[in-house]
Amino acid sequence: MLENYIIYLKFLENKLTKFFDKQKPYIRCQKGCGLCCQNAQFPYSKLEIDYLMTGAWQLDLETKKLVAQNINRVIQEKNNFKGKPDEFKYDCPFLINNVCSVYKYRGIICRTFGLMYMGEDNKAKIPFCCFKGYNYANVIQDGSGVISSEKVKALGDVEEPVAFNISYKFLTCEDFEQGFKIKFGEKKPLIDWFINNNEKQNLAR
């Protein structure tokens, strides 16, 4: 199954690379940013977490220890969280010194961070980091999250910003499962895969 998933990831990566290229004038992503790996929920399917763990087991011992510490800290934070469990947000435990320690093995949601996308309500969504001065920040109306056509025009001969069909729901739908002979399986927040799972939780042992 993981072999077929790797083929699917290659297909997805090809698509996303083209999308990022098209949006180049608006993209500010760079190694060491890591903002999109913080304060979120990170949906992961069983298939994705299995693949992520194949990368995690290959980390050097020092990095494994740091990740394991992060996992245990986030689980503790979740246990102490007073709000609704499905509202709990956290920094991804695999983010070490603002860099993804399992980049090649990261999940689907991680691969789509940073692009404008179509929401389930069929409205275009701009990545949150536009409000921090990153992606699409050069073309939004001040503080509004709405694309300003005047600002786009002022950039000269560039492609318009496009909202792509890259929602997590779509990219993990049955059509892709059938097409690539994969099964995503259960989906839940990344950290939940480590709760009550000693093998995953004790990565460093």
At 63, list the tokens. Answer: 């990095």
Q: Answer yes or no whether residue 33 interacts with ligand SF4 by CB under 6 A.
A: yes
Among 66, 71, 75, 129, binds ligand SF4 (CB under 6 A): 129
Structure tokens at 16: 């996303």
The only residue of 56, 59, 75, 102 in contact with ligand SF4, by rule CB under 6 A: 102
Residues 6+ positions from 166 with CB-CB distance below 8 Å: 16, 19, 112, 115, 117, 118
Among 1, 4, 12, 35, binds ligand SF4 (CB under 6 A): 35
Q: Which one of the spans 59-67, 91-99, 140-148, 151-159 is the region binding ligand SF4 (CB under 6 A)?
A: 91-99
Instruction: Return all residues near 115 (Cβ < 8 A) that are at least 6 apart.
Output: 16, 19, 20, 23, 127, 135, 164, 166
User: Does the footprint of ligand SF4 cover residue 127 (CB under 6 A)?
Assistant: yes
Task: Work out how close the CB of 30 gets to ligand SF4 at its nearest, in angstroms, rounded to a whole number.
Answer: 7
For the chain, the 3-state helix, strand and coil shares in percent, each to the nearest 5, are: 50, 10, 40
Which residues are at the interface with ligand SF4 (CB under 6 A)? 28-29, 33, 35-37, 42, 92, 94-95, 100, 102, 106-107, 110, 113-114, 127, 129, 134-135
